[in-house]
């Protein structure tokens, strides 16, 4: 979490896009019975949630300060 807070807004958006693609790929592989490591899905979901949390913290801070 601390590492995510150090990222810029653009870097967070890129990481979020990558995590969503990772989750999509895992779901696709699960549907086609190619997924070997089932832990990738919860891992990707948690990463997405953490990134969205950091984004929401930043928007709430800017609204409070602004």
The domain spans of the chain are: 2-65
Best CATH choice for the domain 2-65 from the list 1.10.20, 1.10.510, 1.20.58, 1.10.287: 1.10.287
Per-residue pLDDT at 24: 97
Per-residue pLDDT at 65: 81
Per-residue pLDDT at 33: 95
Handedness of CA 42, 48, 49, 50 (dihedral sign): positive
pLDDT in tens, the chain (66 residues): 788 889 999 999 999 999 999 999 999 999 999 999 999 999 999 999 999 999 999 998 888 886
SS3 state of residue 43: helix
């Amino acid at each position: 979490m601390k590492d995510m807070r150090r990222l810029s807004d653009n870097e967070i958006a890129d990481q979020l896009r990558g995590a969503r693609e990772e989750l999509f790929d895992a779901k696709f592989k699960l549907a086609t019975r190619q997924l070997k490591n089932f832990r990738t899905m919860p891992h990707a979901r948690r990463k997405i949630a953490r990134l969205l949390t950091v984004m929401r913290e930043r928007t709430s801070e800017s609204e409070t300060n602004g």
